Structure formats: structure tokens, C-alpha cells
Amino acid sequence: MVQRRDSLAQALRDPKELAHASLADWDRLVPQARRAGLLGRLAHLIDRSIGLDAVPDRVRSHLLSARILADKRRREVVFEIDRLVELLQDVLGRVILLKGAAYVVTDLPPAAGRIFNDIDILVPKDQLATVEAMLSLGGWRLGEIDPYDEEYYRRWMHQIPPLVNSARNSAIDVHHTLVPTTARVALDARILLEGVIAVQGKPHLAVLSPPDMVLHSAVHLFSEGEFERGLRDLDDLDLLFRHFGDGGSFWEPLLERARALDLDRPLYYALRYASEVLGTPIPSEVVAEMEARRPPRTTLALMDAAFRRAFRSPHPDSRDSLTGPALAMLYVRSHYLRMPLHLLVPHLLRKATRSTAVDPAVP
């Protein structure tokens, strides 16, 4: 294996090839995977293909360590979900889980080896205040937050600021819709709520339907401003496409739903980069249909240049001279997507002039 900037994506695409990896190949791959939050996922992929015994001892220790950590995170998520149900079942009837937590309770492939940042739930907007009060009783409160940021969240965002449980250090993101209120694409949250499906064997839990789950993951990733976990999120999408695309009718409802919710653009990008970077198999008629919804050529050229760099490990070996400008462009773009220009310019100025000191001692 020669050293390549996309060697991590290559390994995720085809873990069987790792049977031939030299120690020197692993020496480059392990740090890249760990930085991208994908070492645990890689361990699972290897376990299911060539087996962890096919990996040299010294490397296997790191893969096992990452898997042990991912298993712990998964136990924590399950525990926290139980606490959420206890707190919220009387108010909401059922708790709607999004992203990582949804993958775990429905045992979808992206749950395997995943590192979770927080738990995301979807709540009807008129219930927000009640839910926030109930969560507060359970120990989840606003973390330390600048009043400007809090105002920003509450006024413009699709979620309230993250709530942190100080006793366990777990965080919950409470969403009331999937995209910011100010976004160019407005979304009626009621349509989403109507489409949720119950989780088998867990009467108080629900998740989005497969098309909505994919669209949510896509809209989130492609309006994102930071890409430390970009490849991990793209890999989630790849696994969802493979899983849902494998059986029954998925593609047709997905394309219809994207059109109805005006989310063609993020779906186009999700399919384009998942197949390009991770080799996601997509039926040709879906490709043809989506090509008709593609963005203008110049936009696409710019997006290609940026996203191809964003979907690499944040490790320095995966960067090139244009990675910095590409990530900066995507950061500004994410804000532009969220807010009209007359709101955006003052916001970014404020961000830029305020002290950006972050204490990196907190891992």
C-alpha cells in the first residue's frame, strides 16, 4: 500500500485489503483513524471481514482498545436513553431519537464502533419548554454559555443549546426541527413528526423513517461548518444507504421525500461523496434522477474541491495545501446557509472579534 491521503477511506471501503497491510501501513492508518473518530468502526469492520487475529499484535491492541471504548459509549447511550424515557414518557408519550442514538436503539450498522458526542432528540416545538423543564429535573441543564450564543441558538437554530448532565457529563441536543429557522430551506417539522416510526420492543421510543433518517443525516452533514468528524458522518451515510438500499423500496420514497421537503441538494451531495469516497452502491436510475437535480457546474466544482478535502481524516498527513482554505470556505458557507446575509455579517464579525480562547486541556 502506498501512502495516500485517502488511505483511511480506502480501508473503510475495503477492509479485506488490510490483510496485506504492512506494519508501516498500519503506522499511518491507526493515527488517521483515531483522529477521525473511526478507529472503533475500523475494528468492527476488520472483525467482520478478515478477523482481528489477522492483524499484527501491536496494532490489534489499539483496535481492541478503541472497540472497548466504543462499547462503553454505547452502554452509556443506552443508559441515558432509559433515563430520558423515565423523564419524558409522561409528557411526550414517546421519545423521538435522532442520529447516533437512533442507530443504537434500532441496531443499525452505523451503531457499530461509533463514538458518540451526544444524544439528539426531536420534540414538537410547542412542548420545548416543558421538555426543557423536565430535563432540568433530571439534571440536564444549560452548560456554561455566552448570553449571545444562547440568544443565537434560541432565536435562529433548529435546536436549543446543548443540555449537560453534570453528574455524568452526558449531553443532550433537543431539536424542534431539522434545519435552522432562518435557513434558506424552510421545513415544516410537523411533516417529520407524522412520519416517525415506533422502535420494535420499545414502546416509548421512536425514530425517523428510513428516508427521513437519511435526509436528516445528509442535511446535517452538508450544512455543517466543522469537519473533524466529517468522514465519520459520511461513513454513517454510506452504511445507511447500503443497509436500507439492500431491501425493499427505499430509493423511490427517498427521492420523493427529498423533493417534497426541498432537500434535493443535500441528498445529491450525500450520494455523490459517499459513492466517490466510500464506494456506496447506488442504483443507476437513482444516479440518473439525481443528476437532473444537480447544482450548477461551477458550484459543483467548488464543492468538489472543498468536500473532497473535508472528507479526509483531520490528521496532518491527510491534509494538503488547500485543506485550510477549503475548510474555511465550508465554515463560512455553513453560516451562510443558516442565516440571511443581513444577520450573518454581524454574527461572524462578533465571532471573529470575540476571544476564541478554548481550553484544549479538556479532551
Partner 1 sequence: MQSREFYLRTGPFLTHLTTSSPRLLEALPALYDARCFVERPEFCDFHVSVGSPALRRWIRPKIEFLFEGAPIFTPSPIDHAVPVFESGLNWAISTTINQYLIIHAAAVERGGRAMIIPGLSGSGKSTLCAGLAFRGWRLLSDELTLIAPATIELLALARPINLKNESIEVVRSLSPGIVFSRPAEDTLKGTVSLAKPPEDSIARMDERARPRWIVFPTFEKGSATKLSARPRAETFVELAANAINYGVLGDVGFNTLAEVVTQSRCFELAYGDLEDAVRLLTELSESA
| Site residues (vs partner 1, CB under 8 A) | 22-24, 26-27, 30-31, 34-35, 56, 58-59, 61-62, 64-66, 68-69, 71-72, 75, 314-317, 359-361, 363
From the CB of 8, what's the least distance to partner 1, in Å?
Answer: 12
Residue with cell string 477549503: 326
Distance CA 205, CA 95 (A): 5
- Report the side by side order of strands in the sheet with 95-98: 140-142, 163-165, 170-175, 119-122, 95-98, 202-207, 197-199
Indicate the residue among 75 and 259 with the shorter CB distance to partner 1: 75
Rounded to whole angstroms, the Cα distance separating 341 from 344 reads 5
Minimal distance in Å, beta carbon 345 to partner 1? 26
Whichever of 39 and 98 has its CB closer to partner 1, that residue is: 39
- DSSP secondary structure letter of residue 207: E
To the nearest whole angstrom, how small is the minimum distance from the Cβ of residue 229 to partner 1? 13
Residue (71 or 149) nearer to partner 1, CB: 71
In the bound complex, what is the minimum distance in angstroms from residue 69's beta carbon to partner 1? 6
d(Cα 36, Cα 3) in Å, to the nearest integer? Answer: 17
CB nearer partner 1, residue 62 or residue 220: 62
Locate 84 and state its grid cell. Answer: 430520558
By the 8 A CB rule, do 102 and 116 touch? no
Q: Are 231 and 38 in contact (CB under 8 A)?
A: yes
Q: Which is nearer to partner 1, 296 or 360 (CB)?
A: 360
Q: Do residues 41 and 235 make contact, with C-beta atoms less than 8 angstroms apart?
A: yes
Rg (alpha carbons) of the chain, rounded to whole number: 20
3-class secondary structure, 42? helix
Nearer to partner 1, 62 or 338 (CB): 62
Nearer to partner 1, 62 or 83 (CB): 62
Q: How far is the CB of 164 from partner 1 (least distance, A)?
A: 18
What are the backbone angles phi and psi of residue 198, rounded to the nearest 5°?
A: -70, 150
- For the chain, helix, strand, coil in percent to 5 are 60, 10, 30
CB of 358 to partner 1, least distance (A): 9
**Nearest distance, CB of residue 321 and partner 1, angstroms:** 15
